[in-house]
Structure 1
Amino acid sequence: MAEAATLAFEASVEVLKALGEPTRLRLVRLLARNDLTVSDLTAILGQSQPRISRHLRLLVESGVLSRYQEGAWAYFRLAGEGPGAAALARAVIERVGGADPMLARDHERLDHIRQERAARAARFFAENAERWDRLRLLHVADEDVEAALLGALGERRFNDLLDIGTGTGRVLELLAPRVGRAIGIDASREMLQVARAKLDAAGIGHAQVRQGDCYSLPLPPASFDLVTIHQVLHYLDDPAAALREAAAMLRPGGLLAIVDFAPHDLEFLRDDEAHLRLGFSPETLSAYLAEAGLEVETTRLLVPAGEHAGRLTTIVAIARERRPSAGATGDSAILSDLRSARA
């Protein structure tokens, strides 16, 4: 059994000082399972933006909260990494009763913000539903693809999941029961809003989404046991580079799961859906993955039948990180490999 992360005495005192103020304790309760902006928190607590910002800065400096940028917006949430500051904070807030009228009011206002997110997501879906429905008719059903992905992963569980090009956050939702922590990256703020609304609605508090570039991910290397890239590669001008970046995120022995289309001749997808690549053969994916330091573990082709026969075949591939563990080569050698892979 792994030993729980601990804090030095002085650091523990600083964390408890940071929590020992009513506004900051309210902030941490709200951010324990939600990603919120300063504007969101100002609306919920009814306090000025400068005051909220000062409290947030202190909580970030103490290691209780993490902050990440998304365009002009900054989001905050309870930190998921580090030597135990967030764990100590969570232990404190779990023992604070929620019956207080002020805390109940906070959560009523939080629910209102969640409802606004859901409404924005619904509008986005309504505006794009017809186009997405047309594309779905071209390949096997989404539920069959998801079942194939789950089957390829088997019964394995994972500590940390990274979903690149997360879109609506469906992969985060699908794999949430199997992972301890999940992060989705997408370049589109509109899609991130949809993903946040879906995660809120599903009550998935251990997953978060961030804006980022798949060629230069805003995350430390070797931080994930599982990386997924679901229907993303065909939009990219350099899929091999994206796979190298994805591979750099894996811990030794970690898995990369890819879902995409096999080669096809539906040229209209270039103009109508911005597909830059008309699918990938198993051989092409295998070559890309080998270049990224990965070895293909399994590949499955999902071929449409019936009225969809002859259209888009979906490929599901699982590859394993093949660099030796730190115990075999030393931490410095592995870090050197990671830097080389990202160069």
Structure 2
Amino acid sequence: MLTRHKLLRMTDEPTLSVEDTLAALRAVGEATRLRLIALLAESELTVKDATAILGQSQPRISRHLKLLAEADLIQRFPEGSWVYYRLADGPEGELARGLVERISREDPVLAADQERFRAIRKAKAEEAASYFAARALTWDRERSLHVSEDDVETAMQSALGDTPFQSFLDLGTGTGRLLEVFSEQYSSALGIDASHDMLAVARANLAKSKLGNAQVRHGDVYALNVPPRSFDVVAIHQVLHFLDEPARALAEAARALRPGGRLMIIDFAPHELEFLRDNHAHRRLGFAHDQMERWLEALELDLEQVTDLVPGDDTENNLTVTLWLARDRRIVTDWPARDTSREVA
């Protein structure tokens, strides 16, 4: 049976009962927890981050975070042996954000917290940049084989058009580049990747771009930990050729689409560059149009557009990049009109 609290969460407006409002205020009504809320309003943090910034023990910080989570003010996202925390997206989270906005930025305690937080974020950005640089030569070699990334991104933007949409899911997000490319169009976004190192790069990039409405999570494209029918646009950019079972990943992507939602796939056309298997971990040497169309048809997705980005004849490039855009054929009005984009697990 749904409680009044849960019923309130299902309305369009973020509202709370008097009881829940008092519970949230009691949870945040302590100096350390208020400092934590102020930090989490800026960015997600781990217990290790919070311990370094606030100068308190790990058990103490963990206890405060537990109390805030129990009051639904924050959310926790396990990632391997780490757990990331961020402000909740529901009405309690909005209440917390409102409180933080009314605190003076000149408060000496919070100002010192912010200074330490910036130092930690800078160190993480430098670490992420070092990781990226160590792999840059390998990636640059692969990129040199096809049209420029600018051309690919232009094709993606042209395919989706400039109409805003609510929610965006980027599978195999890597450095989080697509979260930046489409940031002007979505209201909320989630990037998923299996590499913790890549996620560190993506988090640094999102922080640098100040994209507070986008987040990244560790996850498996074969078993997405997101609610079904929860995203307007799902992208799979240069991911399928690394997979043994690309059709299985496509099925998971389709499950995440809202009725009428769009799935955008970018990958290589069939080729014969065998060295990409040995040196770049490619499992598939591209995908033919008819093969992709069969997979999409089996998932009840209508293929709306296919675009081949062919390298020019006067270059040494060898790979053609193909963009497929498909739409979920279910009728939009068949699905309840409520925002589930913020319910990502």
Return the TM-score normalized by structure 2: 0.91
d(CA) in 1 for partners of 2:186, 2:216: 15
Q: Name the CA shift for 1:250/1:262 in 2 (closer, same or farther; >3 Å).
A: same
Is the 8 Å Cα contact of residues 139 and 308 (structure 1) preserved in structure 2?
Answer: no
Tell me if 1:38 matches 2:44: no
| Aligned pair partner of 2:217 in 199, 206, 210 | 210
Tell me if 1:262 matches 2:258: no
Match of 1:113 in 2: 120
| Aligned pair partner of 2:195 in 175, 182, 188 | 188
Is the 8 Å Cα contact of residues 60 and 66 (structure 1) preserved in structure 2?
Answer: yes
Match of 1:341 in 2: none
Q: Name the CA shift for 1:23/1:186 in 2 (closer, same or farther; >3 Å).
A: same
Which structure 2 residues correspond to residues 88-167 of structure 1 after superposition, within 5 A? Answer: 88-167=95-174
Task: Give 1:11's aligned amino acid.
Answer: D
Task: Give 2:26's aligned amino acid.
Answer: K
How many residue pairs match? The answer is 327
For the residue of structure 1 that corresponds to 2:198, the secondary structure is helix
For the residue of structure 2 that corresponds to 1:59, the secondary structure is helix
d(CA) in 2 for partners of 1:132, 1:322: 36
Return the TM-score normalized by structure 1: 0.92
d(CA) in 2 for partners of 1:330, 1:114: 40
Match of 1:56 in 2: 65
d(CA) in 1 for partners of 2:259, 2:334: 11
Match of 2:340 in 1: none
d(CA) in 2 for partners of 1:282, 1:29: 50
> CA deviation digits over 1:95-143, x for unaligned, max 9?
1121101111111111111111111111112211111111111000000
d(CA) in 2 for partners of 1:33, 1:324: 38
Is the 8 Å Cα contact of residues 165 and 187 (structure 1) preserved in structure 2?
Answer: yes
Query: Shift of the alpha carbon at 1:33?
Result: 3.2
Which structure 2 residues correspond to residues 171-320 of structure 1 after superposition, within 5 A? Answer: 171-308=178-315, 311-320=318-327
Is the 8 Å Cα contact of residues 33 and 78 (structure 1) preserved in structure 2?
Answer: no
Match of 1:17 in 2: 26
Is the 8 Å Cα contact of residues 67 and 75 (structure 1) preserved in structure 2?
Answer: yes
Structure 1 gap segments, 5+ residues each: 332-343
CA RMSD between the two structures: 1.6
> CA deviation digits over 1:27-74, x for unaligned, max 9?
111112312100000000111111111111111111111101111000
Query: Shift of the alpha carbon at 1:3?
Result: 4.5
Task: Give 1:214's aligned amino acid.
Answer: V
d(CA) in 2 for partners of 1:9, 1:283: 58
Query: Shift of the alpha carbon at 1:310?
Result: 6.1
Is the 8 Å Cα contact of residues 182 and 208 (structure 1) preserved in structure 2?
Answer: yes
Greater mean deviation of Cα atoms: 15-24 or 210-219: 15-24
Query: Shift of the alpha carbon at 1:207?
Result: 1.0
Q: Name the CA shift for 1:42/1:277 in 2 (closer, same or farther; >3 Å).
A: same
Is the 8 Å Cα contact of residues 36 and 76 (structure 1) preserved in structure 2?
Answer: yes
Q: Name the CA shift for 1:3/1:330 in 2 (closer, same or farther; >3 Å).
A: closer
| Aligned pair partner of 2:88 in 79, 82, 101 | 79
Percent identical pairs in the alignment equals 52
Structure 2 gap segments, 5+ residues each: 1-10, 338-345
d(CA) in 2 for partners of 1:330, 1:50: 42
Task: Give 1:197's aligned amino acid.
Answer: A
Query: Shift of the alpha carbon at 1:328?
Result: 3.9
d(CA) in 1 for partners of 2:225, 2:97: 25
Is the 8 Å Cα contact of residues 232 and 260 (structure 1) preserved in structure 2?
Answer: yes
d(CA) in 1 for partners of 2:14, 2:304: 34
> CA deviation digits over 1:259-292, x for unaligned, max 9?
1111111111111111111111222112111222
Is the 8 Å Cα contact of residues 144 and 317 (structure 2) preserved in structure 1?
Answer: no
Task: Give 2:331's aligned amino acid.
Answer: P
Is the 8 Å Cα contact of residues 256 and 318 (structure 1) preserved in structure 2?
Answer: yes
